[in-house]
Structures are given as C-alpha cells and as structure tokens.
Chains A and B, each alone.
Chain A
Amino acid sequence: MTTQEWKFTAKDIASQPELFLSGHRACAGCGPATVLRLIMKAARGPTIVTQATGCMEVVSSIYPYTSWGVPWLHTAFETAAANASGIDAALKAMSKKGKVKEHIDVIAIAGDGGTFDIGLQALSGAVERGHDFLFVLYDNEGYMNTGIQRSGGTPTGAATTTTPAGSAIPGKVEKKKPIDEIMLAHDMPYVATATPYYWKDMLTKVRKGLEVEGPAFLHIFAPCPRGWRSEPAKSIEYSKLAVESCVFPVWEAMNGKRQLSTPSRLIALAPQKKRPVKDYLAGQGRFRHLFTPQNQHVLVEMQRFTDEHWERLLQKCEPSS
C-alpha cells in the first residue's frame, strides 16, 4: 500500500501496536519521545532501527530494559547513518544469497547532535552512496543528554550551558545550521520537515520516506522542556507555534521539487495568520534574557532573518497543484 492509498484516522493510529514502549526514562513532557512514539506508528512492515547516542537512545535502552519493539542497534554518536549503511549492505547481500526473503525498512534516528555536527560526515557519505534508508532527525536544538550544550542546530539567541546568556554575550551568536538545505544539495530522493503537532503530516512524511527507494531525510522539530526551560505541558504547543511563526516551516521535497505542506501553506496564503517570533520565544527560559532592553536588538534581528528565510523559502517552493 503506497502513501497515496494510506488513509488513516486517529483511531487507526491509536490501534497500531506501540513499537516505542512506555517505561522509558524520558523527562515528563519530552517532545522527542512523542515524536519517536508516533513515527514508529508509520512503520509499514519489518523494520530495523539504528540510533545515535543521545537522549532518546539512552532513555530507551537502560540495560536490562528496552523500549524498542523492533530490532534496534546503537553503536556510537557519529554513526547512525554509517550503521544504516552497513545494515542496508548486509540486507542486500543476504537477500541476493536467499538468506533474507522479505523487504526490511531501515530507519536511522539521531538528535541534532548526531546529525548537524558529529554525525554529518556519516550522513553525507551514506546519502551520496544512495543507501536505502530513512534518516529521522529529532531536533531539540542542543546536546540535551549531556546537559544542554549548544549544537549546530541551536538557534541564535538561545542560552545553553556552552553559550550562556552572559553580560558580554547574549546566548548563541551563530545561526542555526541550514541542515535541510545541506541535505537538499545532495540531490537526494526525499527531504522533508515536520512537527509533532501536525502529526498526520508527520506520519505521512515518514511513510513517504520509507517508500522512497534510496535515502530520505526527515527533520522533525522536537521541543525539550528541560533544555528550553519551558513548561512540560506545552511541548506540543511549541511545535505548533514554531510553524505559525515561520521559525520552523513545514515542507517536503520529492526529487528536489519543494512544496510547502498544508500548515505552512495556510500561512503563505493568509500572511495575517503569521505569528510574531516573540510569541514563540515567550515562555522559553532559554530566550528569557532577550526580553531585556540591552538585548532587544537580538529579537529584532531574529524577526528579521525569520522573515527573510520565510520569503526565500516561498520563492524556492513550487506552487501547489
């Protein structure tokens, strides 16, 4: 059944078996945990998951307990995509020799640490070699598991333990690495962004990524109440605000042809619905220092480049059919 035919309701998804099981040790209100729980609902058959070191890896595999209902491998921090390459090669070789009879989907999961930074080389290599796998990036915008340090995915202005909001420097100065543009530049079959609030959109993209032959990349926004110093109850709400303020637009690109997904398209069609970036930042402790007179300029700059990126994105997207 292809994604064209895959129609699903909340009841359908709710009735699917849990493959990311309860009893994991993620914080209360963990955005990535919701993301992982949901994306496993889009698994379409035999699946192998390999994961990079990080929050979700650690909380779901504390020996002797495991939260994984599928075969699962963790090796190191840099290696999610390298593992996926090895698994893909093994399955191909074993299929040719008749040792594996069915198609098995391979999913590599990594946080922003294991993707933007230390994992980028392996990801780039695996994509260039054309391995058949889906790479899921759950982006909580920092090295959260080791204590909230900055990553290439941390946005400008965010306070982390390695970019604290000090009297001389107001949090992270650098911009968030444009990982999606980097992946698009690889000329790969499927690149998409998603957030858990729009779970139908997210699950459809997981399916598309699995169906595509060759590498697929899915960047999922995943709020972290501990690292962002935000209310645990609002993790999903922030993933909605991020789209409404155009801080994290949702789109997909099949073979390089980029299209806005419905939640972001609605904003493009009705720009009055676009929320100011301030609305998204408010309530997140990591941005609290920006709401002071001496750091006003950072807020202004953040609104400016969010608008700029949004305009640029609109130009790059194909008009929807």
Chain B
Amino acid sequence: MSPEKSWKEISIAGVCSKSSVEFKTGDWKTYTPIRDLEKCTRCLTCVMFCPDGAIKWRPEISDIEFDFSICKGCGICANECPTKAITMKIEGE
C-alpha cells in the first residue's frame, strides 16, 4: 500500500484521487458463487442484481464473467437465478 501523502501533496477540498475499482473487496467473502454452465441461460439476471457489479456481461464471448476479486459472496446471484444455475460454496471447499 502506498504511503499516505502530506497536506502539500494532496488536492484541496478532499477531491478523491483514486477510483474504488482499485480497492478489492473480494477477500470479504466466505461463500463463493459457482456457476453450472449447462443450466445458465445467460439471462443476465445476476448481472442486474449484483450490488457490486462483480458479474460482467462479455458480449465478445457471449457469456458472463465473475470477478472474484470484487465478489463479496452475498449470494443474491444464486438466490435470484431463475434456473438455479448458481450455488454458493464455502471458499476453498
């Protein structure tokens, strides 16, 4: 982590200097989503409902992609999936 800056080095008025995409919340999770590729219909319901935008639609591969460095393991994707294609498993199991 970079050292914190002096008052002379930072912009005035608290203007934020970094995007939060640099802050990885993936280590928060206990459960991780596992997707069954057969059951997944690419309806994008999980993409809509993820509070963290951790599931992305990749049109160039016509598929979705889970970003586990962001995913907090809340399980909304699994709960809302219409075909129950996602299950939450304890990380590492």
B18 & A29 in contact (Cβ 8 Å cutoff): no
A18 within 8 A of B: yes
Known: A21-B53, A23-B70. A65 touches B48 (CB 8 A): no
Question: In the docked arrangement, what's the CA distance between A225 and B21, Å?
Answer: 24
A92 within 8 A of B: no
Cross-interface CB contact of B76 among A21, A199, A236, cutoff 8 Å: A236
Tell me the nearest residue of chain B to A35, going by C-beta. Answer: B51
CB interface residues, A 1-31, toward B, < 8 Å: 10-11, 13-15, 18, 20-31
Q: Within 8 Å CB of B73, what residues of A?
A: 28
Q: In angstroms, how far is the closest chain A Cβ from the Cβ of B37?
A: 18
B17 within 8 A of A: yes
A235 within 8 A of B: yes
Cross-interface CB contact of A66 among B16, B43, B50, B53, cutoff 8 Å: B16
A235 & B19 in contact (Cβ 8 Å cutoff): no
Known: A22-B70, A233-B74, A236-B79. A33 touches B51 (CB 8 A): yes
Q: In angstroms, how far is the closest chain A Cβ from the Cβ of B68?
A: 12
A23 & B57 in contact (Cβ 8 Å cutoff): no
Known: A10-B48, A34-B49. A23 touches B16 (CB 8 A): no
A293 within 8 A of B: no
B70 & A232 in contact (Cβ 8 Å cutoff): no
B47 within 8 A of A: yes
A178 within 8 A of B: no
CB interface residues, A 204-246, toward B, < 8 Å: 225, 231-237
**Using a Cβ–Cβ cut-off of 8 Å, how many residues does chain B contribute to the interface with A?**
39
Cross-interface CB contact of B57 among A14, A62, A232, cutoff 8 Å: A14
B89 within 8 A of A: no
Interface centre among B21, B22, B43, B59 (most CB of A within 10 A): B21
Question: In the docked arrangement, what's the CA distance between A231 and B29, Å?
Answer: 14
Q: Within 8 Å CB of A38, what residues of B?
A: 48
Tell me the nearest residue of chain A to B52, going by C-beta. Answer: A22
Q: Within 8 Å CB of B22, what residues of A?
A: 23, 65
Q: In angstroms, how far is the closest chain B Cβ from the Cβ of A205?
A: 15
B18 & A65 in contact (Cβ 8 Å cutoff): yes
B51 & A61 in contact (Cβ 8 Å cutoff): no
B16 & A28 in contact (Cβ 8 Å cutoff): no
Q: Within 8 Å CB of A21, what residues of B?
A: 19-21, 53
Q: What would be 13 A-B contacts, judged by CB atoms less than 8 Å apart?
A: A10-B43, A14-B47, A23-B24, A26-B52, A27-B72, A37-B51, A60-B20, A63-B14, A63-B16, A64-B18, A232-B74, A233-B79, A237-B79
Q: Which A residues lie at the B interface, using CB under 8 A? A: 10-11, 13-15, 18, 20-31, 33-34, 37-38, 60-67, 196, 199, 225, 231-237
